[in-house]
Chain A
Amino acid sequence: MSRLKQLLKIKKLKQFFPNMKPLVIITVLLFTLTSCYNRYNNVSVTEPVKSSVHELVHIPSSKEMKKIEGGSYLGFIGKDSGRIVTVDSFLIDDSPVTVSEYLEFLKKNPQWTKSHINRLYADNDYLHNWEGDFEIPKNVDPNSPVTNISWFAARAYARSVGKRLPTIDEWEYVGLADEQTKDASSKPEFTEFILNSYQNKKTYENPIKADKPNYYGVYDMYGMVWEWTSDFNSVMITGESRNDSATNETLFCSGAAVTTSDLKNYAAFIRFAMRGSLKADYTVNNLGFRCAKDI
């Protein structure tokens, strides 16, 4: 109907401008051409929605980072067994990202809240026990590590504070240190300490930095939560869960099976097995993250 009105208006105008006919016709034609355009567009949906990782609002972070001097160590797993892994110097958060730190991120980046997150980026257990988008549950310590976080979410957080996730090689390198030395991997008691730490339950409920820091001044590498790494999906284990069938061995190109280079690396094997079982949208209640940064 509005089109008709518009036409009538144009006709009135014509009384004042007798030579307008061609113009009117052109106008009408143009209008005809454009009138359907929008609707047509709506049918084939083209607008990518806002929740892209790349449109993050940057937030300040007061998290302390420790400098890790580069170096090398003997790799743990599969084709890496016996490989010398070299790591450049980098910075790493001195503790896992906490619930309250993550809340600050959500406030500035609501597209990552529980109700708005892109379903591509997290499964249904994302921030599982949060009561609302900006509400930390009452029984959760704001200073405990944030968990039920997907890889995508962890990566988005890291970007928003101008950092990144550590690589597996970097994480494992920092994880070699006990309280006194950079590389405690040959100490049986250190391996025992790690293995014991894996047996404690619900450690994700504890506040960060309650235990002693390691050689670098980094807290909670063990005994708190599993942590995401940027390249966790480079770990391949035959018999991984996505297809428990006879075709399993054909899943992977080179059939890179896990072969621990050394039994004493059993603790590392557990971590690699855990990484190998993850998918990027998985959220688990004892899986959190910390950030790293290039120097």
Chain B
Amino acid sequence: MKKAFLLLTAIFTMLSCKHEEKPKEVDLSNSIFQLDSTWEDQNGQKIKLAELNGKILVIAMIYTECKTACPMLTNEMRNIERSIGNYDPAQVRLVLVSIDPKTDTPEKMKAYLKLNNFEGEQWLFLRSDDESTREFANVLSVKYKKISPMDFSHSNIITVFSKYGELAYQKAGLSNDIKDVAEEVKEQIKKS
């Protein structure tokens, strides 16, 4: 009996991998998951971008004190999320990245997400140090400048990254037309 069991197990072992696809060759040379900067999320958890590997990312850079463009950007993020339709939250991350990391503490980031009803694992708010923030902004081609103790001027750009971290789509300006962004995210979900 035990021999039979052994044999079965052995056969099972051999078969189990047979249908596994060959590893897909993915060119990671332009992946943002290579950036080594360390971030902190709304729960105060330290996080590396590489930990988001495998998730489709939708990213906007904002700051919580902003009274002008950021609420609109935030609203666009909300509309994008709604327009994606049904999706598995484990596949997607909608990420707000702070350009004012000194002010935007995890408490503030958490409160901001809550205020906007951005609940669920798919919503992330990240901050880092000034240097890493500027590097990250440069990867997204986002420009920003502190113009007063409370205020920044900044580009209004929403970026979609594939699950491999490749830049897939960028929307610049507050056009309110988020359809293309949502379509891109859907496309990325279909691919994965």
Q: Hey, which bits of chain A sit against chain B, CB under 8 A?
A: 3-4, 7, 21, 24-25, 28-29, 31-32, 35-36, 39-40, 42-46, 48-49, 51-55, 79, 118-120, 151-152, 155, 230-231, 233-236, 242-243, 247-248, 250-256, 276, 279-281
Contact flag A39-B141 (CB < 8 Å), given A46-B50, A254-B68: no
Q: Give the contacting residue for B144; candidates A43, A51, A233, A242; CB below 8 A.
A: A233
Asked if residues A7 and B10 are in contact (CB atoms below 8 Å), the reply is: yes
A236 to B114, CA, bound (A): 31
> Chain B residues near A36 (CB, 8 Å)?
16-17, 20
Partner of A31, one of B5, B13, B69, B147: B13
Q: A32-B9, A51-B34, A152-B138 are in contact. Are A254 and B20 (CB under 8 A)?
A: no
Given contacts A231-B134, A254-B68, contact A46 B175 (CB under 8 A): no
- Alpha-carbon separation in the docked complex, A210 to B33 (Å): 44
| B14, A4: Cβ atoms closer than 8 Å | yes
A sample of 19 more A-B contacts (CB under 8 A), given A51-B34, A236-B155, is A3-B14, A31-B13, A32-B9, A36-B16, A43-B23, A45-B28, A48-B33, A119-B29, A233-B142, A233-B144, A234-B143, A234-B145, A236-B144, A247-B172, A251-B155, A253-B68, A253-B153, A254-B68, A256-B145
Asked if A236 contacts B143 (CB within 8 A), the reply is: yes
Known: A28-B6, A48-B33, A120-B30. A253 touches B69 (CB 8 A): yes
Docked Cα-Cα span, A31 to B10, in Å, equals 10
Task: Pick the residue among B30, B36, B142, B154 that contacts A119 (CB under 8 A).
Answer: B30
Contact A280 B145 (CB under 8 A): no
B44 at the interface (CB under 8 A from A): no
Distance, CA A172 to CA B178, complexed state (A): 40
Residue pair B145, A236 in contact (C-beta under 8 Å): yes
Indicate which residue in B32, B36, B156 contacts A253 across the interface (CB closer than 8 Å). Answer: B156
Total CB contacts across the A-B interface at under 8 A:
154
B10 near A233 with CB under 8 A, answer no
- Tell me whether B87 is interfacial, beta carbon within 8 Å: no
Which chain B residues border A236 with CB–CB below 8 Å?
Answer: 143-145, 153-155
State how many angstroms separate the Cβ of B172 from the closest Cβ of chain A: 5
Q: Is the CB of A233 within 8 A of B153?
A: no
Q: Does B122 sit at the interface, judged by CB under 8 A?
A: no
Say yes or no: A253 contacts B152, CB within 8 Å.
yes
> Which chain A positions have C-beta within 8 A of B137?
233
CB-defined A-B contacts under 8 Å, sample of 29: A4-B10, A24-B6, A31-B13, A32-B9, A36-B17, A43-B21, A44-B53, A45-B26, A48-B28, A48-B31, A48-B50, A49-B28, A49-B29, A49-B34, A52-B35, A79-B153, A119-B30, A120-B30, A120-B34, A120-B35, A233-B142, A243-B172, A250-B173, A251-B156, A251-B173, A252-B69, A253-B69, A253-B70, A279-B138
